[in-house]
Amino acid sequence: MTIEWQYAAHEHLGVLSLAGYLGAESTGRFTGAVGWALARGTGPVILDLTRLLGWSAGGQLAVAQAARLLAEHGRRLELAAIPADGSLVPDATCPDIPVHADLPAALAAHRSVRRAGKQWSTGNWPTARPADAATLT
């Protein structure tokens, strides 16, 4: 099983949502999604894990690596709705990663967030896509 992702660019932040299981076989796709978010947004990236079924140790390492990559570009990774099977345990080289109970709490922490602008997603993203969303394969 792999992951599906959706990225929504808001003014001054982005929301990268994952669905599926973040395991060793899906870390490449996840890394690509983080690169997509890095190239198309500004400010922190909220990693919405509401639809994530779980993650392996390799998946957790990929999230920590994403936090490092974003920090190298002056941006921060924040987590929303971490899987019930465990929390992220970053090593000492990982920047601080704020964790929010869910996506509404993460967005509330950024009071000035308005509706999302452009959105992109993989072809099998599990929800209806907005009319202005671009689909990726």
Q: What is the pLDDT of residue 126?
A: 80
Tell me: the pLDDT tens digits for 78-102?
999 988 766 666 677 889 999 999 9
Positive or negative torsion for Cα 40, 37, 78, 8: positive
Structure-block tokens of residue 43: 């400010």
Residue 129, pLDDT above cutoff 60: no
108-136: average pLDDT: 62
Tell me: the pLDDT tens digits for 3-35?
999 999 888 899 999 999 999 999 999 999 999
Tell me: the pLDDT tens digits for 104-118?
999 999 876 555 566
For the chain, the residue count is: 137
Residue 130, pLDDT above cutoff 80: no
Q: Domains for the chain: give ranges and CATH numbers.
A: 3-136 (3.30.750.24)
Residue 131, pLDDT above cutoff 60: no
112-137: average pLDDT: 57
Beta bridge partner(s), residue 79: 47, 99
What single string gives the DSSP state of each residue in 64-96? HHHHHHHHHTT--EEEES--TT------TTSPP
Q: What is the pLDDT of residue 17?
A: 96
Tell me: the pLDDT tens digits for 47-69?
999 999 999 989 999 999 999 99
Residue 98 contacts by C-beta under 8 Å, 6 or more apart in sequence?
A: 76, 78, 79, 109
